[in-house]
Chain A
Amino acid sequence: MTKIEVELHEDVISIIHKLKNVADTGVELIVPEGAVLFDNILNLKLLRNWSDQEGKVINFQTDDVGGQNLLMSLEEEASFPEEITPENVEAIEEEVPAQKFAMPKMRLTLPVIKLKKGKIFLVLIIVAGLLGVVGVVTYRYVSRLPQAHVKIVVNSQPLTRSFEIKVISGHDTSADEKILKGTTLEAGLDDEVIVETTGEKIVGEKAKGEITIYNKTTEEKKFKKGTDIIYRDKDDDKFVYELRDDITVGPSVDDPGPPPGEIWGSADVEVEAKEIGKDYNIDKGEDLEVEDQDDSDFVAKVNKDIDGGKEETIKIVAQEDMDKAIQTLQENSKEKALKALDQKITGDQKLISGSENVAVVKETFSHKLGDETEELKLSQTFSAKCLTYVSGDLNTLVDTLTESFVPEGFELSDKERAVNVEVLGNTETTLLNDSEADLQVTLKTFVVTDISEDSIKQALMGLTVNEAEKYLGSIRNVKTYELSINPHVPFFDNVPKDESRIIINLERE
């Protein structure tokens, strides 16, 4: 049972902390008169509740009369419904029948050796020799058998520290400036995407043919190449053609008859539709107008079918197609680029989340805007960057920053150590990019007594139990220790001289 002396002003929280550090299931609390613990019975109830949960038994030792009264009333209050009564014991005994153990019976028959008197001496010498050999072998075996088991419980204290540090790519780690060395990793990626074009363009042939222009005036008329000739269909839709050559149409002349009349001047000329499309195909004989001329002066007529006009819609590259290709590729490739970046992270390196940056360094389209094509291919080269640090470097920096908080004779524990890193992001006062980042680093660990297992082993080798206990008791900041040498062999109760047979179990408080 471990004894704990409670101080006068120690409150229930502090006592629970102390109890938590005791491995023993039985604890005796020595409480002084007038202790704060006895200010309120709830303190004792809370302790009882806690000890029940932890499976510990707490005994109180106190001269405080009020405290004794409280403890008594607490005891009276507690009930033990499962208390073992004689009836219960009887019931238990009935359920578990008593077992009888008996040793197996053996009979040994020893051989009978008959010796002649002259040989007795020789036999005795041989037996003595054999016994000697057995003795030496046994000594060597037995002397190697015992192991010293040392359990040392060292003091430990929880330690939590939080620091704001800066990770800078290429900068050396500096505890004074709270800077951690960072590395910018870069990964390249070539990727492409093909999208169907959505732009449309109408292509085709212009209709061609021959017409005759008639001059009803008495003056010769010249028409220049490109003069518009107009055809109106039955719906009065207007189709425009143009002359392919300059032409002169002679004047109208009198026809003496009989019967007398007029003969219009005429000239044949080739025309071509101004636009593409089959709608411009018209048959021979259709009437035409001459642009800017009155029908009473000039008319025209198709004298050879105007045909060959046709049209079709084809796909071309639209701006939307190019935008879509860029967007699709970037969406797909950003993830691929980050994966490529991830693969570059090795071992102990840690990526600072949010520092990743993916940029396009080269971009090529298979077609230009407006080009006739069904598909558009975009090829891009990506460059992904991120900021990383090495865990080991961070631990070293945190240890250095924490050094001043480690009490003398203690060191930071490797066990139950938790380093929490939180990225502070881009704010007015903090940065986050692929070359610099601000982090909030929190260390939660314990500081434990600074002792070396090897040096303890060295010091213990060959010591008697008393000497070993004296040595263990003299080690600074050791809370408790236990030493046992097993198996116990008479005359071999010293700590073994063989280091490998000293087993040290260091436990923090």
Chain B
Amino acid sequence: MTLSPSRCLKKGRSHFDRDVYCIIELLMNLPFFKKKAKKTPKFLTLEISSESVRCLAFYKEDGSLKIIGSGTSPLEAGAVRNGIIIDPGLVVQATQEAMNSATQNAEDAIKNVIIGVSSDLCLENVTTAKITRGSGTPITEKEVESFNEKIATSSEMQAQNYYSSLKGDEDTELQMITSSLVYIKLDNELVDNLEGKNGQVVEMALYTAFCPTYHVVAIQKLSKKLKLNVLAISPINFAVMKTLKQSDMESNDAILAQVGSDFTNIGVVFGGAVIKNKSLHIGFKHFVDEISRIMGLTHSEASKVVYSHSVGSLSASESVVIQNCLEEVLNIWLEGIKLLFGDFAGVKTFAPHMYLFGEGVQLPEIEDVLDKEPWPKSIPFKSPPTIKALIVGDLAKVADATGAVVSHEWVPAAALAYIYEEVI
């Protein structure tokens, strides 16, 4: 089932309101989201990666989003691959455990949830359309709907083509999960809405995020089994962009780099929206696997070693061993990153502000290698990139009342909380 975004682009709403309603309407029109969201200030955010399920419990208080509980539950290998739920049973079990842990101190059950979709699974795009009107009369509602229809159809076609070129698969059905107007121009002037205005040339830019329909169905089943009330499904990049926009950090032109458990996704941001994102299927898990392989440790043991390394509790010589283990895979990863940037056809120059987040960022070598190696030389950055690894503390509105949500890997789940303000 594919939804048209035209319904969400209604008259009389500001550009920012439309982001909100767009998400709500799209989601609420899905049959499994028909339940009315209870207006309680408590809600959950869920991030499902191939290594684990992370859950945060929030309490919205005045202007801040307070973390009141956190839970993480590891997933067995193969249960989730590149964000796709392969074994729903294991994912349901892990999600339940993560939720139990996150809500153990909550007085009542929290059922409202915002679920993140891995950047790797989302095809994000900004579609621009320029329409020259023949008439000199004010723009009508019907005309606006027609514009919306055209641009939505165009973005869907782009997404389908891109998916096909990426996966070699033309049959998988895609579903739009988020859309947001980036800007509307009438005769080259920015306007909030079109209806009732006079002008000849209409230019619209629409951000859309598509993901395979089977994944939406999988989330539907998951939420049904866990008796959850899904407030929104949001691309992780979209949520992170929301946090950047409400901070002092550069959010107009930037690069988002999510180093997930089994992928690295690069999102190119121009004009405050992700215009395109691409993934490399090398992530945190591969770094751990490499340590496991070379040091003869199990994956779980290697994960513990990596954790100790990331918090700096290993001796200098042990850290050297870890660094040696990672050297080769880091080189391959960096080659992949270069290829990834080279794959963004049409991007003439990349913005120099690069934000890192996700599980992989807990490895200090990731930031180091991006910061020190001469990899950007072959990529048309506007100026040498500045790398910033986001932490939960960077999310201005989020206040961690538990003291347990500090490391980089919690950023996606914490960023999803910003969507709550949009949907309630």
Binding stretch for chain B, among A41-49, A118-126, A474-482, A497-505: A41-49
Are A42 and B295 in touch, CB under 8 angstroms?
A: no
A-B pairs with beta carbons under 8 A, tally: 100
Q: Decide: A73 near B168, CB < 8 A? Known: A42-B340, A160-B324, A422-B317.
A: yes
Q: How far is the CA of A9 from the CA of B87 in the complex (A)?
A: 15
Which residues of A51-86 are within 8 A (CB) of B? Answer: 65-70, 73
Are B168 and A162 in touch, CB under 8 angstroms?
A: no
A25 beta carbon closer than 8 Å to chain B = no
Are A65 and B317 in touch, CB under 8 angstroms?
A: no
Interface size class of A (residues with CB under 8 A): 35 or more
Q: How far is the CA of A442 from the CA of B323 in the complex (A)?
A: 13
A39 beta carbon closer than 8 Å to chain B = yes
Are B82 and A42 in touch, CB under 8 angstroms?
A: no
Closest 4 CB pairs between A and B? A69-B168, A66-B168, A70-B168, A440-B317
B61 beta carbon closer than 8 Å to chain A = no
B11 beta carbon closer than 8 Å to chain A = no
Q: How far is the CA of A50 from the CA of B335 in the complex (A)?
A: 9
Give me the interface of B with A, judged by CB distance under 8 Å: 78, 81-82, 164-169, 262, 278-282, 286, 289-290, 293-296, 315-318, 320-321, 324-325, 329, 332, 335-336, 339-340, 343
Are B165 and A41 in touch, CB under 8 angstroms?
A: yes
Q: How far is the CA of A70 from the CA of B166 in the complex (A)?
A: 7
Are A46 and B335 in touch, CB under 8 angstroms?
A: yes
Q: What chain A residues lie within 8 Å of B340 (beta carbons)? A: 42
Q: Decide: A45 near B343, CB < 8 A? Known: A36-B81, A39-B82, A440-B317.
A: yes
Are B290 and A13 in touch, CB under 8 angstroms?
A: yes
Q: What chain A residues lie within 8 Å of B295 (beta carbons)? A: 160-161
Q: Decide: A49 near B339, CB < 8 A? Known: A160-B321, A440-B315, A442-B321.
A: yes
Q: Decide: A40 near B343, CB < 8 A? Known: A13-B290, A13-B332, A69-B168.
A: no
Q: How far is the CA of A9 from the CA of B76 in the complex (A)?
A: 14
Where chain A touches its partner, the secondary structure class is helix
Are A46 and B317 in touch, CB under 8 angstroms?
A: no
User: Given B82, B169, B278, B332, which contacts A66 in the complex, CB threshold below 8 Å?
Assistant: B169
Q: How far is the CA of A73 from the CA of B343 in the complex (A)?
A: 13
Q: Which of A9, A36, A66, A160 has the most CB of B within 10 A?
A: A160
Residue of A whose beta carbon sits closest to that of B295: A160
Are A46 and B280 in touch, CB under 8 angstroms?
A: yes
Are A39 and B281 in touch, CB under 8 angstroms?
A: yes
Q: What chain B residues lie within 8 Å of A39 (beta carbons)? A: 81-82, 167, 281
Q: Decide: A13 near B318, CB < 8 A? Known: A40-B167, A46-B332, A405-B296.
A: no
A424 beta carbon closer than 8 Å to chain B = yes
A187 beta carbon closer than 8 Å to chain B = no
> Other CB < 8 Å A-B pairs besides A40-B279, A46-B332, A422-B317, 13 of them?
A36-B281, A38-B167, A39-B167, A40-B82, A42-B281, A42-B343, A43-B281, A69-B164, A160-B295, A160-B296, A162-B321, A424-B315, A442-B317
A16 beta carbon closer than 8 Å to chain B = yes
Which residues of A158-192 are within 8 A (CB) of B? Answer: 158-162
